Amino acid sequence: MLKSMTGFGRGEYIDSSHRIIVEIKAVNHRYNEIVIRMPKSLGSLEDKIRRSIANTILRGRVDAFITVDEYGEKKRTVRVDKELAMAYHNAMRELAGLLEIPATDNIYHLSKYPEVFKVEEITEDVEQLWPKLAAAIEAAVANLMKMREAEGANIERDLLERVDKLSSYIAAVEERAPQILVDYREKLLNRMRELLAAVGAEPDETRLLQESAIFADRTNFTEEIVRLKSHLSQFRATVNSPDAVGRKLDFIVQEINRETNTIASKANDSAIANIVVEIKSEIEKVREQIQNIE
């Protein structure tokens, strides 16, 4: 089944202590690029987050947005800057000596000086948060993939319809091929008769056969038709593959386009030239759709 490269998914994990929200947006991209926006406290988990997403999303530009809310009382601790407290104490004693006044140190007074006491929050081990975050990521990726698969199914139907059109055009080219030589031989014969009428001579049948044989060899595109049919068969088989097939389909379409150009240059026939225009139009539409496939 084909998967589109575009989509959106949201996952959420909630318990008594945390609420984690993960939102993932994916768009077309030639390679697999994952950009993560999250709280700085989760920095050590970035590699796990990236691998968790990349295991499922194989191609496209992916933007992941992660928010974490903590519930309940936050754990705090008070840290004393002992060196700074001693520096304040020594400075006050020095100032008292300079002014020749009694030094009256008071511990409560000293504690009011800036930066002596610092209140710090105790951060939890983010590794313990990982199972919760992983559950939210898994839900977001699953929802994203549902959207990708739904859009991919629509693209698949469109592509197969266009491949059927290409098959019908190729069948028309193949049906027209024998008539090319017939028309050429008739035109050549009429031209020879016009030129020989002045001298009362008839066209040389042997010469006519030689020219027809040369033309037939120069305009033969049987091999190209066979390869085109093979490419279309391979295209259909690839579409049904469970793997990421966007790049492979793009290569097959390039080969289809190349064989079509060869037929156009060999045929030297207006009817086939018109069919080739239709084929190339469909090829371009197929190519545009493939750009959306993982």
pLDDT for 145 equals: 95
Tokens describing residue 83: 């060196």
pLDDT given for residue 122 in this prediction = 54
Secondary structure of residue 221 in the 3-state scheme: coil
Residue where the block lists tokens 């592509």: 159
Secondary structure (DSSP) of 259-287: HHHHHHHHH--HHHHHHHHHHHHHHHHHH
Rg (CA), the chain: 38
Q: Which two tokens stand for residue 40?
A: 């700085």
Q: Which residues contact 117 (CB under 8 A, 6 or more apart)?
A: 78, 79, 80, 81, 111
Q: Would strands 60-70 and 76-80 be described as parallel, antiparallel, or unpaired?
A: unpaired
DSSP count for the chain of H helices, then E strands: 8, 6
pLDDT of residue 241: 86
CA distance 167 to 229: 7
What does the pLDDT profile of the chain (294 residues) look like in tens digits?
789 999 999 999 999 888 999 999 999 988 899 999 999 889 999 999 999 999 999 999 999 999 998 876 666 677 888 888 788 778 777 777 777 677 666 676 766 777 777 776 656 678 889 999 999 999 999 999 999 999 999 999 999 999 999 999 999 999 988 887 777 677 766 676 666 666 666 666 776 667 666 766 677 788 899 999 999 999 999 998 888 899 999 999 999 999 999 998 888 788 888 999 999 999 999 999 999 998
Alpha-carbon distances, residue 220 vs 46, 49, 187, 215, 265 (angstroms)? 59, 57, 18, 8, 11
Instruction: Single out the residue of 164, 165, 173 nearest to residue 266, CA to CA.
Output: 173
Coil, helix or strand at residue 35: strand
Distance CA 29, CA 59 (A): 7
The secondary structure of residue 42, as a DSSP letter, is G
- C-alpha distance from residue 9 to each of 13, 25, 62, 159, 215 (Å): 14, 7, 11, 25, 60
Q: Write the DSSP string, 72-124.
A: SPPPEEEEE-HHHHHHHHHHHHHHHHHHT------HHHHTTSTTSEEEEE-PP
pLDDT for the residue 5: 92
Look up the pTM and report it. Answer: 0.70
The token duo for 276 is: 């080739």
Residue 176 Cα distances to 28, 186, 269, 277, 291, angstroms: 40, 16, 9, 15, 33
| Lookup: tokens for 3 | 């998967």
